Amino acid sequence: MIKIRKDMAAVIVLAVIVAACCLDMMKGDGDSMGTVACITSVMNEREDMDTRKIAITFDDGPHPYYTEQLLDGLKERGAKASFFVMGKQAEAYPELVLRMHEEGHLVGNHTYSHIQLGKNNREVFKAELVKTNELLSRITGEEPQYVRPPYGSWDKSFETELTMIPVLWTIDPRDWCSTDVRGIVSRVTKKAKENAVILMHDEYESTVTAALEIVDILQKQGYEFVTVDEIFFD
């Protein structure tokens, strides 16, 4: 059996449809503009078919210096990210949280003080989520719907009690414990796939450098960086 690569198959389909468009023009009234529109539509479909969505997320910020650098780099590249901010950091740097929101990034809840949910602190954990939601709502004008629980510890009952959606991750390059930019980039790009969720932390210089390199590499491979809600619901 002859195997046809996915990209080659797409090229063949494109060529067949374009040929059909041209044939219709020859048979009809010679409407060249109609043919151009047909071909343009097919090209747009091909572009959509080639685009793969991926989400890059950042915890623990905003940082007064590195987060601003990161936002500048994402803006230059037309990439969107999801920021799970700590309430105490948002309280200290509200202008950065507002910038995240205004530039189309998702702003999510990462508790007020990075508390880990345990057996004996459920109400304290919940209170930190509520406090951070109220704080972020005052800054952005919108109540957060998404939460990144520190260390991944979560209680599903919070989803109905607080109407919040937990966001975990599929790729963890452990950027928080390494300054090896090349290693961080490699660990992400090797595991990248459609609808992956990358976990990073925007409080380190090495993370910002690595994150922007990751965006550059994966955009060239046809990935579109979107917020996590697009991964979950589109």
- Active site amino acids: 59, 201
Spatial CA neighbour of 68 closest among 89, 37, 51, 54: 89
Torsion angle of C-alpha atoms 83, 84, 89, 90, degrees rounded to 10: 70
Rounded to whole angstroms, the Cα distance separating 192 from 163 reads 30
DSSP 142: S
Q: Which amino acid is at 111?
A: T
State how far the Cα of 74 lies from the Cα of 63, in Å rounded to an integer. Answer: 15
Chain-centre distance for alpha carbon 59: 13
CA angle 209, 103, 47 (to 5 degrees): 80
User: Cβ(10)–Cβ(49) under 8 Å?
Assistant: yes
| DSSP H helices in 78-144 | 87-92, 94-102, 122-140
Residue 149 phi/psi, 5-degree rounding, is -70, 130
